[in-house]
Every structure is written in structure tokens, then in C-alpha cells.
Amino acid sequence: MKSLTMIHDILVSKKESFTGSYHVPSCWNCIEYDKYKTPEECPGEIDVNPYGFFASCIDNITKKKSDLRHIDSIKDNLIYSILPRSFTAWPHYRHDDLCEGTLLKALALLPFLKRLGVTILYLLPIFSCSDHYKKGELGSPYSIKDFYRIDRGLHDPLLGDYSEGMLETEFMAFVEACHVLDIKVIVDFAFRTTARDNVLIAGHPDWFFWIKKECADVFKTPVLGDGEESYSMNAATIRQLYKSPDLKKYLNQFSPSPDKIDQDKWETIKSSGCDDMDKAIENVFNITTVPGFSDVINDHQPAWTDVTYLRYYFDNPPEIQKHLPWDQPPYIMQDGASLTNSHGKVKNDELWQYIANVLPFYKMRFAIDGARIDMAHALPDELNALIVSKIKSAYPDFILWSEELNPENSGQAKASGFDFISGFTYADYKKVNCSGFNSAIIESLLQSPIPIVASLETPDTPRSAFVYQSTALLKLLLVLNSFMPNAIPMINSGQELFETQPMNLGLDNDENGRFVLSGSDPMYGKLAFFDRYCLHWANASSEFFDFLSEIVQIREKHISLLTDGEFIKHAELAHAKKLTVLHYKNADGTNLIVAANRSQDKKAVLNLEKLMDYQLNQECNILYNSNGECESEPESLKKILKPLETIILEIVQTR
């Protein structure tokens, strides 16, 4: 714990010299730090000496014996997702300037996450990001300028002036603290797109796609038909795409890379060592990197103006070469955005190796435990396999998560070496009032040969507290989510705070989705992916936190049954309009049944006799009941569930 000790010592050395005021949400004080004031004008906050407070947080982590839990299966875990720069953002000095979240402050909240039962902490991108072409106040964390540097905004000024070495120490200390608490760290890596001014441009301008500068502001991809209906990429739609009347105009926007236009001018720019290489290229050559876009044809998302695509192949697919002019500069369309469908034959070997070495670098330098590969479904299968083999050959236990949304493609993710995929349970949960809910969500999970992340929301979707505005319904779904088969449950930061403001508008949302808060709320209209944003920590509810903790504890106690036991499907409930039942059984006859009445106005009957071979020497224990005691018919094994009532039953042998 060398780095953690170093950070602790710096804080202690500065403690006595602090004389100001520093506010933090009172719920951050999960270590019961008692040296604080309670400002009357700021309910839900405490005023602390920050050096003393954060040093005490580190003391608590390092000195308190952790209750370690042995994890046998990847499905044993509970994931908690954070965007570090917003997770602990707060106006600490009581003025309008919001202080961004840092690794030091996130470290202080680890005991909070440990109490919640978190075993994997998933960090959205932490890398050096660009402020060129940025969206919003800060720009996207996915606009990655340098894969090998951590974003300087994650440095905490309490530790002194920024330096790259200090920031790396802060991240190492953070990972060390997680490991003390038996929490694994997974980091999100985006390899399909980068910032449009990525540092690789200086040495390899031909690793990018270029368009004429005047086209950048009006850039859009070709459409099919009237442009209204969306199409996924396949052989048929690709053929249609290259017959689009927009094709010629679209291709005319592209340009050779600057080194191919004029080698001498390029060498002059390159040797100048200017920081704004992209701006110099624009001024001298009148070209710029192409904005990114979706791999869905007729997608209604606007162009991703802050990112661009990496060029993984130097040639075009043979089947579409006939549609291109002989002198066509390197270009990219929707088929090239997703390289699993269509790609060339001449690999950019140096780029492939550069990308494949990123994960080993972060494992060796910072001891991270795993990675989520953003848009893994859009990378070539061969490249995915290379990334996996490079890290797994040296670190077999390294955890790999593919952002594959479609469970039907999970077989390829498994073949590439991934441990689990993202899936789209957030979309399936929206069918909660439909008769096909049970079949839709359970079958999609069971069809996958590797586990799927189960979540009501993701950093890209609308917030579950906004979608399911009934607290009872939200709790019902969170209980089910914790016990879904072949799944790893995930909590998105802020979900436990009933946060309604989305972090991004990427999935199932539109521009109106950013305006869900009251107009008087300081965070009104802001998106954490692009703006200065803080969670509503001052409104934290201990009741909801306690509810989540209770469910997680029940799950942990029965984790071997969930991961190793038999999941029993009940065909008669596949299309039940009201009742969802998750039923597990192990070899010793123990049954775990999670039952939920999804109806908001009618009762539902859970008949244990129909679900299992119930015997006299079995005892039924109610582990959880959302409404207190549930009704039972006299001398019967029928449980009558009130509207939106959820129960968890354990049925064990008594002799």
C-alpha cells in the first residue's frame, strides 16, 4: 500500500494549516468522522477539515479488517458504475464553482460501496480527454486524446499542484484501497473511436480518416429510402447502402491524409511540435478528421462531432471496391464503423499492436482487475481475440467485459475470450406491464453462454427512477434484478439516490430527455457525460440504501445456489400477466423462490404446490417481504401477493 500511504502522509502534513471551510454531503461520512460542523444553511452537508477527513477515510480503510468474501464465479459479483469526475463532484467551498470529482474523493466513498455489497467497481473512461470539438462544458470522457495517460481533471488539488507522477500515484492509491476492501476495479476502454485530435495523429496521420474542412459542420452519412426506418448492418443492407444516390456526394467529402497531400508541409508541421496539431493541419491543409457516427443505417443520432474513427485496415472490402472510384481517398461509412460486418484484408498491424498493449500496460502499472471494451461488437473478431489473448496470456484472471448488447451475439463474444456481455435488460424491464415480460427477459439471459449484466439503467439510458416513478415498482424490479439467472447485477451511481437526470442521451432517449429536473435545480439540463454535474447527495435516503443492502445480503447468503444450483423455468408463467417467479434449487433440496406481483391494482396467487414437489419435511422461510406479512389461504401453500408485492422464500429440508 505504498501509494495509499504516500497520499495519507501528504494529507496529514497539511491538516494543521487548513483554516477554511470545506463542505461535503453528510452521507459521505460513512466512517462516522466526528470532527465536523453542521451548517444550518446547508441541510444534508457537513463542514470538515478536508485533510483530516480524507486522511481518516484512508485510516478506516487500511486499519479496519475487511470482511472478505470468496468469489468462485463471475456471476457472484455486484457491479457499481461510476463516472469519476461527476461521482464525487460537489461545491465544497459554497460558491457557484462546482469542484469536479477526483480519485481521492472517490476513495473516501469506498466504505459506502463496501456496505452496499459492491465487489466490482466499474470506472467509465479515466484517460486524458480532449477539449477540442467538445460537447458541453467539459466534453466527453470517451473523447480520448491519449490512451496511456490519465485525465488530469481527476487530480485532487488538496494534494498540491498537478503532475503526471502525482496523478498516477492517486490512481494507484485508489486501486490499492479497493483491493484492501476486496473490491475489483474494471476500467472502460474505447478502442473503436478516439478524440479527433488524438496524439497518434502526430506520428501516424494515415491511421485516421480525413474530410475537407468545409464539410465538417454539415457532415452526415448516406441514408436508405426516406431515411425514417433504421436498419442494422448486414450483407443486404450494405449492398443497398452502396447503391444509395447519396454515395457519390458522400465520398467526395473525403481527402488523403496530410502526409500524402504534401510530405514537406507535413514534416514542417510535425517538426514544429505544436500542441494543437489538428488545428495546424486544418489551417495548412484545409482538412480535418471525420466526425464519428452510429453503425446503424438511418440512425437519428446526430454525428458524434467530438470523436473520430481509427483506421484498422488500409484497404477496402473486396465486395464493395467495385462501387468506388479508382482514386477514392480513405473513407468510412456505416459498414466501416462496425468492422464485424465488413472490413478489408490489409491490417494496420502497428495500430493493432498499439491497441493490444494498452490493457497489459494498465494491469502492470496500476494493477487493475479488468476492462470493459466499449463498442467491442464493432471491432473485428480477430482484433478482439488479439486484445484478449495479449492480456489473458499474462494475466489469466483478468476480467473482460464486452459491450455486446445483443445476447444472440454472445457466442462470438465468448469465442473471443470475453467473460460477460452488456446485454439490454434495461430495455426488457420496460415491458414490465406486458404479458411477455417473463419470457422476454429470462429467455434472453438464458440463451447466452456467458453471463449478462442485469441493470434497470446504464450510464447511457434514462434513469430508472424517472422511467419507473412508482417507488414500489422500482423496488420490485431491483429485487428481481438481483436474482436474475445467468446475470451479474449492476447499480449505476446515483440510482440509490433516486437520481432522475440522465448522464447521457445515447440509448432510448432524445434531446428532451435532458430536461427532467426542476428548472430551479442547478443541474437542470446538464449531462454528466459532457457538463459539470454532481449527484443529489444531500437528498440521500437511508431507507432506500438499507433496502438495497438487505437485498444484496440475501443474495450473498444464497450466492452458491444462484450460481451453481438449477434454475427452474415454469412454462405456465412464461406469459403471466401479473406474476414473475425466479426459482432456484440445489442438490440438497433447498429452494429459493423470488416472486413479484407486477400488477399495480390486482392481487396475484403464488401456489407453491404447483411450482415444486412440496413435502411435509420442508420448511418455508420468508426472507423478504416488501409489504410485511403476505396473505395465505388457510391450510394451503398459496401465497396471495398484493399489488406490487415482492417476496423471497427459502424452502429447506427440516429432517
Q: pLDDT per residue over 402-416, tens digit each? A: 999 999 999 999 999
Among residues 156, 251, 246, 258, which one has the least CA distance to residue 206? 258
Cell of 631: 396473505
Phi, psi of 327 (to 5 degrees): -105, 25
Backbone φ, ψ for residue 61 (5° rounding): -70, -45
pLDDT at 301 over 80: no
Output the pLDDT for position 539.
87
- φ, ψ dihedrals at 414, nearest 5°: -65, -45
Percent of the chain at pLDDT > 90 equals: 73
Give the lowest-confidence range in 224-228, 387-391, 531-535. Answer: 224-228
- List pLDDT tens digits, range 496-513: 999 999 999 988 888 999
Residue 541 has pLDDT above 90, yes or no: no
H/E stretch holding 149:
strand 144-150
What value does the mean pLDDT take over residues 98-119?
95
pLDDT of residue 71: 65
DSSP of 87-139: HT-B-TTSSSPPBPP-HHHHHHTHHHHHHHT--EEEEP--EEE--TT--TTT-
pLDDT in tens, 556-605: 999 999 998 999 988 888 788 899 999 999 988 889 999 999 999 999 99
CA distances from 260 to 266, 280, 326, 600 (A): 9, 16, 16, 65
CA dist 176 and 328 (Å) reads: 51
Average pLDDT, the chain: 91
Q: CA of 312: how far to CAs of 212, 316, 387, 593, in Å?
A: 21, 11, 14, 49
Distance CA 167, CA 161 (A): 10
**Count of alpha carbons within 13 angstroms of residue 609, beta-carbon side:** 7
Q: Which residues contact 413 (CB under 8 A, 6 or more apart)?
A: 376, 377, 402, 404, 421, 450
- The per-residue pLDDT for 621 is 86
- Tens digit of pLDDT for each residue in 17-73? 999 899 999 999 988 889 989 888 888 899 999 999 999 999 999 886 555 556 668
In the predicted structure, residue 13 carries a pLDDT above the cut 70: yes
CA distances from 198 to 132, 162, 288, 372 (A): 10, 22, 12, 21
Which structural domains are found in the chain, ordered by start? 75-195+351-556 (3.20.20.80), 210-300+312-338 (no CATH), 563-653 (2.60.40.1180)
pLDDT of residue 278: 87
Q: What pLDDT score was predicted for residue 274?
A: 77
What does residue 150 show for φ and ψ, rounded to 5 degrees? -85, 145
Give, for 580, the enclosing helix (H) or strand (E). strand 579-585
Whether pLDDT at 106 is above 80: yes
Question: How is residue 407 written as a grid cell?
Answer: 445476447
pLDDT, position 636: 58
Q: Does residue 224 carry a pLDDT above 80? A: yes
Q: Could you tell me the pTM of the whole model?
A: 0.95
pLDDT at residue 204 tops 90: yes
What pLDDT does 54 receive?
A: 97
What pLDDT was estimated at residue 446? 94
pLDDT at 637 > cutoff 80: no
Q: Which three cell numbers stand for residue 586?
A: 440445489
At residue 566, the 3 state secondary structure works out as strand
Tell me phi and psi for residue 597, to 5 degrees.
Answer: -90, 105
Most confident among 203-212, 213-222, 232-241 (mean pLDDT): 203-212
The answer on pLDDT for 634 being more than 50 is no
